[in-house]
Amino acid sequence: MQQELYQQVWIYIDESDRLRGRALSLRMLDALRAAGCPGATVLRGIGGYGVHGVVHTDLAVELPSHLPLIITFIDHAERVAQVLPALRELVTEGLIATTPVTVVQTSHRPAGPFPRHLSVADVMSRDVARVHLDTPASEIVRLLIDRALRAVPVVDADQRVVGIITDGDLLSRGVTTLPLRLKQLLPIEERSERVASLAAKPQRAADLMTPNPVTLPETASLAQAAAVMNDHNLKRLPVVDATGRLIGMVSRLDLLKTVAEGVRQRPEQPPKLPRGAPATVSELMITSVPTVYADTPLTETLDRLLETERRRVVVIDKDRRVVGIITDGDVLRRAGRRVQPGALKRLAAWFAGGERPEGLEVEAQGRTAGDVMSSPVFTVTPDTPITEAIRLMMTYKIKRLPVVDEEGCLLGMIGRAAVLSALAQGVEDASTGAS
């Protein structure tokens, strides 16, 4: 059998080297992890000199800020060749060297719930919307609404990712006053009016984007994608090829769907979580959950809804048994059927942080939480395995699940972000340890 070819890469830089305000060594570790390299180590010297001949040491009388750092990793020769161009761009002053090595033994921690043979290229969306630096604000908003998106990458003339525009960017820069998820619930004519009003906005994509967004190479593993999303608190990431060109988008939903599909195909063999990761819902659920009763007046229900960051309340009975759930979207879909279109727009603006609409008490008179809640509600118990919670979320397209006891009484709530965090735990250590 032909022996696999491995190489060890040695990168020499200065401890003081920084890139966009962050230590260069840490940026290189991020790049290596994102590229799928199984591990890398940063070594700190106690003395040395470079091509300029200036000696730096770690003596007490010296400042150690210019000591040499060595980043080293071992990987297949093919992947080393793929990652070297990105490393060359990062190291403007320093030395990169490679040496062939023979790997005598290697072992890995359990791979966790993500199939090891899959990369982000296997699960990402390839039909990716994109805008250019000079795309006007109105066209960006129209694209996001029409395709029910929450973010869009910005590319240059060579299709390289240079930025990303999110719903939050549009709100914070004053382009829109409503979150896209609420805007998409408005009647078509109101949505058209709002987009048309943006024609006079002078902003272009270059003015609105967050530059230099986090991206993933197409070779990154699903476990690494989960770790990056968890580290940066992101729901979706652009995927690029070896030259930095946009080829797809991978989302939290894509990763969780993959785990759920594994559960569906092998119910008798549930995926193993990383060592030390939470195994059941009880270890991840939040216990502070806003609640109302089914007969709570609608005006009071809306006030309670507005007190929560996630715009979500659970409806319970007198014994705290869960009977329904209400989101701001539920209110707009159901309560909105009996109000004037203009009132619906004002209600949506209130949910987005605006002023309380006048005449709300009159519009909502005689209506209760039970009139707008979604019911029945899928729930889990504290001892439900994390993988089963993921299966329920993906099968029924649920973002959050109430956690109940054996009697159906509310104990807490668990969401997609928490379960992805559980899947990502252990990846950090497994991917940045010594090779």
Q: Where are the domains of the chain?
A: 6-107, 120-251, 281-424
143 class by beta-carbon count within 10 Å (0-12 exposed, 13-18 middle, 19+ buried): middle
DSSP 308-356: STT-EEEEE-TT-BEEEEEEHHHHHHHGGGGS-HHHHHHHHHHHTT-PP
Fold adopted by 6-107:
Alpha-Beta Plaits (3.30.70)
pTM beyond 0.85, yes or no:
no
Q: Homologous superfamily of 120-251 in CATH?
A: CBS-domain (3.10.580.10)
Task: Tell me, yes or no, if the two domains 120-251 and 281-424 fold the same way.
Answer: yes
- Write out pLDDT tens, residues 156-175: 999 999 999 998 898 888 88
Contact 9, 29 (CB under 8 A): no
- Write out pLDDT tens, residues 78-122: 889 988 998 999 998 889 999 999 888 776 555 568 887 788 999
Who wins on pLDDT, 219 or 67? Answer: 219
Among the residue ranges 77-81, 311-315, 349-353, the one predicted with the least confidence is 349-353
Q: What is the pLDDT of residue 62?
A: 43
Percent of the chain surpassing pLDDT 70 = 80
Q: Which residues does 87 contact at the CB level (< 8 Å), separation at least 6?
A: 9, 11, 28, 31, 96
Q: Give the span between the Cα atoms of 388 and 398, in whole angstroms.
A: 13
pLDDT score of 332 more than 70: yes
Who wins on pLDDT, 378 or 66? Answer: 378
pLDDT score of 362 more than 90: no
Q: Homologous superfamily of 281-424 in CATH?
A: CBS-domain (3.10.580.10)
pLDDT score of 406 more than 80: yes
Q: What is the pLDDT of residue 33?
A: 77
pLDDT score of 246 more than 90: yes
pLDDT score of 342 more than 70: no
Q: Give the span between the Cα atoms of 247 and 228, in whole angstroms.
A: 18
